[in-house]
Amino acid sequence: MIDDFRKGWALRYMREAEDELKASQKAAQPFGLILDAARKAQAAVYYSLGDPFYIEGLVHEAFNGGKSVENPILRCLVDIEHMLQRMESLPESSDEEAFNDANEIVKIATGIVKLLATED
């Protein structure tokens, strides 16, 4: 169970991620909104797991370590980071591909946040 402060931030970031993803569908140049949505979904997961700065450090260490990650939760977080890194390297004309990746990240994040941030 997470404290109310982190729960509030996790839920806020999820709402913002979902809203930005929806707004990107109507935007003339959606790429920035798509990336923001994916990063906010990632932040929501980090807040739902605990100290987001500590979690971010663990993920970056595992991501840059180049070794296989055994822990399934950490592996999921590293996979999300990998998707985000790939999205950031796409040309801005790849809106549809970026949208699909961001949508997948938001779905994963929604499941994690709902699991960890909802009360029984």
Residue 14 confidence (pLDDT): 97
Residue 115 confidence (pLDDT): 92
Residues 6 or more apart in contact with residue 47 via CB below 8 angstroms: 2, 6, 7, 9, 10, 13
Cα-based distances in Å from 96 to 9, 12, 33, 93: 28, 25, 12, 8
- Single-letter code of the amino acid located at 102: A
User: Tell me, what CATH number does 62's domain have?
Assistant: 1.20.120
Cite the DSSP H helix spans in the chain: 4-24, 31-49, 52-65, 72-89, 95-117
Residue 119 confidence (pLDDT): 62
Distance between CA atoms of residues 35 and 37, nearest Å: 5
Structural domains of the chain, count: 1
Half-sphere exposure of 120 (CA within 13 A, CB side): 1
pTM of the model: 0.93
Half-sphere exposure of 60 (CA within 13 A, CB side): 7
Could you list the residue range(s) of the whole structural domain that residue 41 is in?
4-117
Residue 2 confidence (pLDDT): 83
Question: pLDDT tens, position by position, for the chain (120 residues)?
Answer: 688 999 999 999 999 999 999 999 999 999 999 999 999 999 999 999 999 999 999 999 999 987 888 999 999 999 999 999 999 999 988 999 999 999 999 999 999 999 988 764
